[in-house]
Amino acid sequence: MNTRESEHVEAIKKFYHHMAENDWMKAREFLDPEIEWIEPKLEGLWFSGRHDGVNSIWREVLEKAGDSVEKVHWKMRKFFAIGDHVVVIGKIHGRGRATQIKLAAPVAHIWTFDDGRAVRLEALHDIDQWKVVMGLTALQSQRLAA
């Protein structure tokens, strides 16, 4: 890993650390003001689709997370740098407020950097687990509640 790649990985680790500490102001420092944030499209999920700009992300994605999921938090475990990209793999944890089903959904984040700041995030989720936890499907929830 070269110096630039190492700096990108450290920046993203700090972002997740500040998010875990609920220090949103420090977390925002790592994001470009015009960042493009892309989540899978799924009707009924507040974070679904594309969000442009850090203010939009905070308002439409991160602040609303607590409305639907209790104690939502990311546990990101693996970080891979590839040029101006960082791939991060982990899980999103919490409990669905409406269903009380435990959430431990695998997630991958693909970050893109430009001039030292994150300018794009594309998130990949276990959508089936989100559907069950959020009560958007009639699937049996026993496999997730364990």
Calculate the CA 31 to chain-centre distance.
13
Show the domain range for 79. Answer: 3-145
Question: Distance between CA atoms of 31 and 43, rounded to whole angstroms?
Answer: 26
Report the CATH number at residue 127.
Answer: 3.10.450.50
Residue-level pLDDT at 13: 96
Low-confidence ranges of the chain (pLDDT < 70): 138-146
Distances (CA, A) of 88 to 46, 52, 98: 22, 21, 29
pTM recorded for the entire structure: 0.86
- Predicted local confidence at residue 139, as pLDDT: 55
As for how many domains the chain has, the answer is 1
pLDDT of residue 138: 61
